[in-house]
């Protein structure tokens, strides 16, 4: 594999954060519109819908942002699956944290969503960053320039 500078690594990490934000927001809006338009939404189903729509999209976005051309299919599949699982776990943990931490009177649901988004972003982007750091340390790909 070719050498990768630290600036390129940081650029790919920032791209993963950007993609996971954009895809998470877009999927949340689309899923929310479809579910509230065509189905009866209960509070429990609303929580599951929020966690799944943002967590899955954040995992896909983080994996897409850190994609490299020299990756083979098993590496890419592993990165995407683990990114989605980490995004879902992070979204669920952030949702649980947001319920009790962010108390805003008169805005039900917004504090939970705030914690959910931060948890999904952190969880989904931790996997590609860890993969890149471990791979670079194993192959000594970072160079000082």
CB-CB contact of 17 with 125 (8 Å): yes
Residues 6+ positions from 89 with CB-CB distance below 8 Å: 55, 123
Question: What is the spatial distance between Cα 129 and Cα 83, in angstroms, rounded to a whole number?
Answer: 10
Inter-CA distances, 56 with 11, 27, 65, Å:
22, 9, 14
pTM listed for this prediction: 0.81
Question: What is the spatial distance between Cα 52 and Cα 47, in angstroms, rounded to a whole number?
Answer: 9
Residue 126 burial (C-beta neighbours within 10 Å; 0-12, 13-18, 19+): middle
Question: What is the spatial distance between Cα 144 and Cα 90, in angstroms, rounded to a whole number?
Answer: 33
The mean predicted confidence, pLDDT, of the chain is 82
DSSP letter, residue 106: T
pLDDT digits (tens, 9 = 90+) for 109-138: 566 778 888 999 999 999 888 888 887 777
Q: Rounded mean pLDDT of 9-32? A: 88
Structure token digits, residue 66? 């850190």
pLDDT digits (tens, 9 = 90+) for 59-78: 999 988 888 777 888 988 98
């Amino acid at each position: 594999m070719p050498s990768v500078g630290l600036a390129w690594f940081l650029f790919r990490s920032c791209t993963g954060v950007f993609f996971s934000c954009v895809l998470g927001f877009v999927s949340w809006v689309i899923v929310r519109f479809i579910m509230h338009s065509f189905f009866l939404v209960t509070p429990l189903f609303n929580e599951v819908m929020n966690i799944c729509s943002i967590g899955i999209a954040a995992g896909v976005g983080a994996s897409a942002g850190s994609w490299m051309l020299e990756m083979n299919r098993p590496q890419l599949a592993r990165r995407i699956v683990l990114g989605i699982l980490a995004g879902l776990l992070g979204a669920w943990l952030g949702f649980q944290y947001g319920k009790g931490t962010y108390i805003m009177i008169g805005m039900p649901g917004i504090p939970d969503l705030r914690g959910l988004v931060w948890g999904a972003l952190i969880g989904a982007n931790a996997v590609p960053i860890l993969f890149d750091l471990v791979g670079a340390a194993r192959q000594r790909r970072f160079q000082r320039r």
